[in-house]
Amino acid sequence: MSNCIVAQSGGPTSVINATVAGVVKANQLNPIYEHVYGGLNGIEGILAERFVDLTNMSEEENHILQQTPSSALGSCRYKLKRDNVEDFQKLMDVMDKHDVETLFYIGGNDSMDTVAALSEYAANNGITDKRFVGCPKTVDNDLMHIDHCPGFASAAKFIAMTALQTWLDVNVYPASRKEVFILETMGRDAGWLAASACLSEKIDVLILPEQPFDKDVFLKRVSECVEARSKCYVVVSEGARYADGTYISAGESKNDLFGHAVLGGAGEALKSMIIDSGVAPRCKVQDLSTAQRSHASEQSYVDRAEAYRLGQSAHMHSADKSFTGQMVALRRREGESYDVEYFTIAASEVANYVKNFPEEWILPEYRGISEEAFAYLRPLIDGTPYIIYKNGLPAHVEPYYLR
Amino acid sequence: MSNCIVAQSGGPTSVINATVAGVVKANQLNPIYEHVYGGLNGIEGILAERFVDLTNMSEEENHILQQTPSSALGSCRYKLKRDNVEDFQKLMDVMDKHDVETLFYIGGNDSMDTVAALSEYAANNGITDKRFVGCPKTVDNDLMHIDHCPGFASAAKFIAMTALQTWLDVNVYPASRKEVFILETMGRDAGWLAASACLSEKIDVLILPEQPFDKDVFLKRVSECVEARSKCYVVVSEGARYADGTYISAGESKNDLFGHAVLGGAGEALKSMIIDSGVAPRCKVQDLSTAQRSHASEQSYVDRAEAYRLGQSAHMHSADKSFTGQMVALRRREGESYDVEYFTIAASEVANYVKNFPEEWILPEYRGISEEAFAYLRPLIDGTPYIIYKNGLPAHVEPYYLR
């Protein structure tokens, strides 16, 4: 029996470890591989032969791993370039040396490109004893062909929750105090995360990268809200941009005169517009930053369960010796209640594409999202898994890459 | 039987409504008052006779109210000035008109000053049929005489949790990537919230307002961490300041040349120092802002239970017709396991003082907090109450002030 490696790449999510846990548990239940190695820091660490043996992980560690946010195996931003034959061959040699048949690579767009490139290299060089399998993850929810990406729903739930909670906070002062609150979310190219704030049902103004930003329309809408009830709650994606593609975070400030870029992101840029125009005298910005992809103590149950099952699914499919260059995925079943089915697709079909938030789901004048969008998003944030606590905080697995 | 009013003031916390729920439930169990009115937007709304009747609140609403963050009755920043006889008399008249005997006021320093001032006014004017009772709350944990303030522990728990979760995130890239992460917490004058991040046991550098900031010592410490393991995790209180009292957020930037203030707070100021000095090429700031006092879906069980019981305690004590100008409080019992006892103290003893984080609990060179500090903090974040969910998000009571 040969071995497999599971590794993680790109930005972490709060359920990316659940996929590792799924691969490990699947092999305990149905041993296809003698050893399940964790490759540390993605391709970069695998090339340096940095492994940890996960084969006999205990039930308890498996559970705690699933509730531990961020990549417990470490990550990398290292991208295998197709003309870098040396790295490709080095990786094949490392796999040979450790008798590794299958590499499971958990990641987003770039990682699926790596999976595709590795399987192409193997095919082109007559290497038939190795398989390269992609497992999807990204808080951005921008992968093609998959209904939604593991990691997205937990971040969406935290964002919706925080929108509700901070909306309750910003409204407490009397109507004499006119005030705008701006919540900034991740999403450089796709507006999925920002849109998910609408699940709070408290959002007055929503600005997504998919919709060219128009300052006048924005200020008019904020002004209407402030006039109507003295407060206005705005959600903006970090990637919000003008029609010409310029990010709104890139300019537009009193200080432009001196040639200084505005510090901060899209939220701070909107704040400047609001204050400068006199639409409201007070404006507060909350940038959710790293916390939104790390908040694992309130993972979506659906998200974590699906991330785990995708790991199991990848392991199961890899019993087929011809299964390579593929990504495991899920699609939503038709019907009244939420359900998904698992399938597989060529990693090359996923790599280097971006799935935007559908334009037809965006309401005009920054008024939020359509009922179709709500119907898509709502089931994804359902439930919270049982979390094991230790000393008052969620228990976590110490990162394998630091051991 | 006459009536009472319960009202909230100052900045919200995630358990400030639990104290309202405690007053309401106590009166259902032991009816001292015919009606329990909620005064909307604190003293400001009471003067305008804006009330809601909470007397017969259902068990379900009581439970959901306890898990709803921010002041469900609204808040105000309106301060009764002692020379403003008109407002004082107006308040007495409103109480007479609605047959109100007791005003429960939930708040911090300023609110306790209001409680003291109102009871003094009543005493000086021969008004003997009214009682003014303070209930403590503040995320800042800076009230004197009370072991800890309701609201603090839940914010502390969220901060410690977020510190752990973002620490796991910032470490995932290989050692070749040198990086500093800065978490900024609330705490203009007292360092309790920032210090609570140490409960994560992951903090490399901690900067509190109680300790004069020394840039050289700070950069030396960060540099040591980055050299040792390529990453450094810094926590800073928004109120961090130099020996002369200047906030570090107030200056120190390349742009000073042009007379521009630095945008952003203490975290951004530290980031500038780190980047400008070349100690690390990458630095990310997460400002927890409003989320840290609003995150009620993971309240500390201890915190919520104590906030509730302080409401009950205030109600119970107010059966005594001479009980006025007092604040209900709690002190920690001696012993192995955590326990508290409830007591009362003159509101004037609490008003206008600040309890700082003890200097003897601060380790030198920004290395964090002492074992005594851990022993003080640890029991406070224990447990998470049962949270009722609706549509995937924590259920909440719609603000009474918006109905």
> What is the three-state SS of chain A?
CCEEEEEECCCCCCCHHHHHHHHHHHHHHCCCCCCEEEECCHHHHHHCCCEEECCCCCHHHHHHHHCCCCCCCCCCCCCCCCCCHHHHHHHHHHHHHCCEEEEEEEECHHHHHHHHHHHHHHHHCCCCCCEEEEEECCCCCCCCCCCCCCCHHHHHHHHHHHHHHHHHHHCCCCCCCCEEEEEEECCCCCCHHHHHHHHHCCCCEEECCCCCECHHHHHHHHHHHHHHHCEEEEEEECCCEECCCCEHHHCCCHHHHHCCCCCCCHHHHHHHHHHHHCCCCEEEEEECCCHHHHCCCCCCHHHHHHHHHHHHHHHHHCCCCCCCCEEEEEEECCCCCCCEEEEEEEHHHCCCCCCCCCHHHECHHHCCECHHHHHHHHHHHCCCCCCCEECCEECCCCCHHHC
The verdict on a CB contact (< 8 Å) between B393 and A70 is no
Reduce the DSSP state of residue B353 to 3 states and report it. Answer: coil
Strand A340-346 versus strand A326-332 pairing type = antiparallel
| B275 vs B154: CA distance, rounded Å | 33
pLDDT tens digit string along B219-262?
Answer: 999 999 999 999 999 999 999 999 999 999 986 443 434 343 43
Strand A51-53 versus strand A36-39 pairing type = antiparallel
Q: Which residue has the tokens 């911090």?
A: B108
In degrees and rounded to multiples of 5, residue B237 shows phi and psi of -85, 140
Q: B268 CA to chain A: closest CA distance, Å?
A: 9
The verdict on a CB contact (< 8 Å) between B12 and A45 is no
Q: B3-151+298-366+382-402 and B155-294: same fold?
A: yes
Q: CATH top-level class for A3-148+299-364+382-402?
A: alpha beta
Predicted TM-score of the model (pTM) = 0.96
pLDDT at B240: 96
Q: CATH top-level class for B155-294?
A: alpha beta
All residues of chain B having their beta carbon less than 8 Å from the beta carbon of residue A181 are: 290
The residue of chain A nearest to residue B48, with distances taken between CA atoms, is A174
All residues of chain A having their beta carbon less than 8 Å from the beta carbon of residue B68 are: 168
- Cβ-based neighbours of B248, under 8 Å, separated by 6 or more: B213, B236, B240, B241, B242, B266, B269, B270
Q: How confident is the model at residue B391 (pLDDT cuts 50, 70, 90)?
A: very high
All residues of chain A having their beta carbon less than 8 Å from the beta carbon of residue B395 are: none
Query: In a structure prediction context, what are the per-residue pLDDT tens digits for chain A, which is 403 residues long?
Result: 999 999 999 999 999 999 999 999 999 999 999 999 999 999 999 999 999 999 999 999 999 999 999 999 999 988 888 889 999 999 999 999 999 999 999 999 999 999 999 999 999 999 999 999 999 999 999 999 999 999 999 999 999 999 999 999 999 999 999 999 999 999 999 999 999 999 999 999 999 999 999 999 999 999 999 999 999 999 999 999 999 999 999 864 434 344 434 346 999 999 999 999 999 999 999 999 999 999 999 999 999 999 999 999 999 999 999 999 999 999 999 999 999 999 999 999 999 899 999 999 999 999 999 999 999 999 999 999 999 999 999 999 999 999 9
pLDDT value at B401 more than 70: yes
What CATH topology corresponds to A152-294? Answer: Rossmann fold (3.40.50)
The verdict on a CB contact (< 8 Å) between B12 and A161 is no
| Pick from B169, B392, B396: CB nearest A290 | B169
Q: Which residue has the tokens 């971006």?
A: A354
Burial of A5 (0-12, 13-18, 19+ CB in 10 A): buried
| B153 vs B159: CA distance, rounded Å | 10
pLDDT tens digit string along B253-288?
Answer: 434 343 434 346 999 999 999 999 999 999 999 999
pLDDT tens digit string along B320-339?
Answer: 999 999 999 999 999 999 99
From A131, A134, A135, select the one nearest A3 (Cα to Cα): A131
Q: Which residue has the higher pLDDT, A83 or B116?
A: B116
Q: A128 CA to chain B: closest CA distance, Å?
A: 31
The residue of chain B nearest to residue A169, with distances taken between CA atoms, is B70
All residues of chain A having their beta carbon less than 8 Å from the beta carbon of residue B393 are: 157, 160-161, 164, 199-200, 381
Active site residue B303: no
| Pick from A157, A258, A396: CB nearest B164 | A396
Q: CA geometry: angle at A398 spanning A395 and A400, to 5°?
A: 145
All residues of chain A having their beta carbon less than 8 Å from the beta carbon of residue B171 are: 70, 74, 399, 401-402
pLDDT tens digit string along B61-90?
Answer: 999 999 999 999 999 988 888 889 999 999
pLDDT at A77: 84
| Mean pLDDT estimate for chain B | 95
pLDDT value at B26 more than 50: yes
The verdict on a CB contact (< 8 Å) between B396 and A164 is yes
Q: Which CATH number fits domain B3-151+298-366+382-402: 3.40.50.450, 3.40.800.10, 3.40.30.10, 3.10.20.600?
A: 3.40.50.450
| Domain coordinates in residue numbering, chain A | 3-148+299-364+382-402, 152-294
The verdict on a CB contact (< 8 Å) between A392 and B402 is no
The residue of chain A nearest to residue B380, with distances taken between CA atoms, is A392
The verdict on a CB contact (< 8 Å) between A173 and B291 is no
From B296, B393, B302, select the one nearest B68 (Cα to Cα): B296
Count CB pairs under 8 A between chains A and B. Answer: 193
- ipTM comes to 0.95
Q: A173 CA to chain B: closest CA distance, Å?
A: 5
